[in-house]
Amino acid sequence: MLKECSSHGYFRGELCPVCGSESRFLLNDQEVEFLVRTMAGVLRHFPERFGVEMDKQGWIDMGDFITALAIKNRRFNFIKPHHIIGLVETDAKGRYQHREGKIRATYGHSLEVELDLPTHDIPETLYYPTTTEECNVLLGAGLTPLDRKMVHLSATPAAAMEAGKVRVENPVILAVAAKKAVEQGVVIMKAGKTVYTTKEMPAEFLSRYDVSLMEKAEEELSPDDTG
């Protein structure tokens, strides 16, 4: 559910997480899910299906998107810019941006785009999920894009594990020496709250991450149930 607090802005849920007020209702859960899926498709893969133009940085006009949405599905002819802005600003992964009446996805494209995203303050280590079968191949050959135009790296082992479980039940996690890679000229961009992208990552910056370290860290952070 998407709501807007007059004091603290957009949020998802019943009550404002800051002040606890019920706030103004904007979208129900079903509407949020449909619109987010539609935004992902249009902004990452098929703007032409909605008859909207995307520039080389991945931006499309928000007004054009809203008009196309209403034409495609009359149920959503009530949508205004503040609905879209609310979805962008409350996206848990930071997958979208809005600026000067335009919107775009920050990663996940199957289209050729030239994203002008931040390249500073890259973490020392990033992480990449793979399978047991592919692990040794990647350690020898490095990372290159698969079904997308960029390699997607995660900020934490846990985030990489979550991303990897889309493909396989027990992902193998690779550690990426990101800071060293940047020092050697590899360009890495911050694309979301936990996602970074690069065109490729040479094998010399890859190693296999010991998943037991992540499990140990989680145990140390969990509350003591012994009383």
Mean pLDDT of all residues in 90-112: 93
- pLDDT for residue 225: 44
pLDDT value of position 222 = 45
Report, as an integer, the average pLDDT of 6-29: 94
Domain 126-217 adopts which CATH fold? Answer: ADP-ribosylation fold (3.20.170)
Give residue-wise pLDDT tens across range 108-159: 999 889 888 999 999 999 999 999 999 999 999 999 987 778 999 999 999 9
Give the C-alpha separation, 187 to 163, whole Å: 22
Residue 227 has pLDDT above 70, yes or no: no
Residue 26 has a pLDDT of: 96
Map residue 103 onto helix, strand or coil.
strand
Tens-place pLDDT, residues 171-215: 999 999 999 999 999 999 999 999 999 999 999 999 999 877 766
Crossing angle for the helix pair 62-72 and 29-44, to the nearest 10 degrees: 120
Q: For position 216, what pLDDT does the model report?
A: 59
C-alpha–C-alpha distance, residues 42 and 68, integer Å: 11
Please tell me the predicted confidence (pLDDT) of residue 148: 79
Q: Which residues pair with 25 in a beta bridge?
A: 3
Please, which residues have CB within 8 angstroms of residue 79's CB and are 6 or more apart in sequence? 35, 66, 69, 70
Give CA–CA dist 224/227, Å, rounded: 7
Mean predicted lDDT score pLDDT of the chain: 91
pLDDT class of 219 with cuts at 50, 70, 90: low
> What band does 218 get if pLDDT is binned at 50, 70 and 90?
low
Summarize pLDDT for 58-76 with one digit per residue, the tens. Answer: 999 999 999 999 999 999 9
Domain ranges of the chain: 2-105, 126-217
By mean pLDDT, which of 19-28, 30-39, 140-149, 199-208 is the weakest? 140-149
With bands split at pLDDT 50, 70 and 90, how would you rate the model's confidence at 226? very low
- Is there a common fold for 2-105 and 126-217? no
Burial per residue of 89-124, b for 16 or more beta-carbon CB atoms within 10 angstroms, e otherwise: ebbeebbbbbeeebbbbbbbbeeebebebeeeebee
In this prediction, residues 167-171 reach a mean pLDDT of: 86
Minimal CA–CA distance to 108: which of 123, 96, 119?
96
What are 221's two structure tokens? 């952070």
Cα 38 to Cα 208: distance, rounded to the nearest angstrom: 36
Please report the pLDDT score of residue 55 as a whole number. 95
- Rounded CA gap, 29 and 11, in Å? 12
Topology annotation, domain 2-105:
Arc Repressor Mutant, subunit A (1.10.10)
Please state the length of the chain: 227
> What is the SS3 assignment for 67-87?
HHHHHHCHHHCCCCHHHHHHH
pLDDT score at 217: 54
